[in-house]
Amino acid sequence: MTCVSDTGGLSAMNAAERRAHWESWMGVALGEARRALDTGDVPVGALVLDEAGRVIGVGRNEREATGDPTAHAEVLAMRAAAAARGEWRLTGCTLVVTLEPCAMCAGALVQARVRRLVLGAWDPKAGATGSVWDLVRDQRALHEVEVLGGIREDECGALLREFFEARRG
């Protein structure tokens, strides 16, 4: 699956078409989030699309699986994308993720020069891209990231709620 590139596709779409476009990609991220359940990790999935709309990085939370505190879906997807590009700059890329990034991941988005963030559920406890903090659009940051939030929010949020309810129960 490839997305419509920014160079002629997205800008030509109306708002409903753009939303449907991102909802489709969020479905891919949700599939990756569900895979995190196999290792007992919080179900968050992410993918990076390059300027041409190709998937160049995919990740899911793997903190429990690897014992790595930085193994968040966003970080792993960006690492894979950087490896695919052969450089750390992800200029022009879009990160699609099922949960609003935390401060660590928001900082990584800025440092990698990611163009756009498409997120599912907002995180009112630790979100750093518009809810609790807004690190990606802070005027003092080196780079500003466009944020499109609430894409398939109910579905993304339900997956997280079910995971945490099962752990408590």
| Tokens encoding 141 | 């940051």
Determine if residue 143 is labeled as part of a ligand binding site: no
Q: Across 74-113, where does the E strand assignment appear?
A: 94-99
CA distance 58 to 123: 21
Determine if residue 3 is labeled as part of a ligand binding site: no
Burial 130-148 (b: 16+ CB within 10 A, else e): bbbeebbeeeebeeebebe
Nearest Cα to Cα of residue 35 among 43, 46, 25, 47: 43
3-state secondary structure 22-36: HHHHHHHHHHHHHHH
Integer angstrom CA distances of residue 27 from 17, 79, 100, 165: 16, 21, 16, 22
Determine if residue 156 is labeled as part of a ligand binding site: no
- Residue numbers annotated as active site: 74
Annotated binding site: 72, 102, 105
Annotated binding site for Zn(2+): 72, 102, 105
